[in-house]
Amino acid sequence: METIARPRRQEDRGIQYDIKSPMRFLFAGQLQHIILLACLLPGGIYLALPALDGATWLGITDSTWFYVAILVAVVHQIVGWFVLRMQLVFSLFTRLFGRYDLAVWGGIFFLLFILRPISVTALGLADFGSLEPLRGLQIVLGLILLVPVVYTGWSIERYFGVPRALGGDHFRPQYREMPLVKEGAFKYSSNAMYTFAFLLFWAIALLTGSRAALAAALFQHAYIWVHMYCTEAPDMQVIYGKYSEPIRG
């Protein structure tokens, strides 16, 4: 089938595409996103509830930290959908910020990104030790999981590049024209950032021995794949010339 999304303008200020139904594409995959989120939220809460007994860290209860960790993840991914789709469809950030568009998005992204492990760590400290027994094994497994996390971070910096990881192909033609990365962690998974980097949350949960943090880690890791399939996959189809109607949602 002939594609309906092609580059309309490629220059230093960004990329725009001719999309037959811009508003429809803006929400492509988001009905599925909402449905999957509605399934994941009760599951995460159900797994965490037995450990949420009112213990505190910095005077804030474990239940509050749990819901903060969940909320930060949801806000982060909704903001990611909105910014990258609006940039892809309307070049919104380029129109607003010119050549600083990617830098502005990077600031927003990293603020929310950093809050994710911070909130899970705070939850783990509030709920410290609820994941019993075998604390020694938990610590060993947590340390082991940090190895692929660090390796993936190094691979992103060494082979992939932070701007590209931020969604640079939504902003600049040169990122769209780069070949697939097959070195470092990307040698083992083309989605190494989602597959390996999110093991950080599991490591935090195991190192703090927190059942509630483990539930939050499960939610975070499952939810990032929702972003992959419901938001990023349709974007990639447009950027790399494979998007054709209909896409539902």
pTM of the model: 0.86
Q: What is the pLDDT of residues 56-82, one digit of tens each?
A: 999 999 999 999 999 999 999 999 999
> Is there a domain that residue 185 lies in?
yes
Please report which confidence band the pLDDT of residue 2 belongs to, taking 50, 70 and 90 as the band edges. Answer: very low
> Is there a domain that residue 158 lies in?
yes
> Is there a domain that residue 135 lies in?
yes
Question: 56 lies in which domain range?
Answer: 21-239
> Is there a domain that residue 16 lies in?
no
Closest CA to 145 of 197, 214, 211: 197
Q: How many domains is the chain built from?
A: 1
Q: What is the pLDDT of residues 191-234, one digit of tens each?
A: 899 999 999 999 999 999 999 999 999 999 999 999 999 999 99
pLDDT score, position 11: 40
> Is there a domain that residue 248 lies in?
no
Closest CA to 87 of 36, 31, 19: 19
> Is there a domain that residue 9 lies in?
no
Are 41 and 70 contacting, i.e. CB atoms less than 8 angstroms apart?
yes
Q: What is the pLDDT of residues 138-178, one digit of tens each?
A: 999 999 999 999 999 999 999 989 999 999 989 988 888 88
| Helix 211-227 × helix 30-48 angle, to 10° | 170
> Is there a domain that residue 246 lies in?
no
* Cα 99–chain centre separation: 24
> Is there a domain that residue 249 lies in?
no
Query: In the predicted model, what is the mean pLDDT of the chain?
Result: 88
Q: Within 13 Å and on the Cβ side, how many CA atoms surround 162? A: 10
DSSP 158: I
CB atoms within 10 A of CB 71: 12
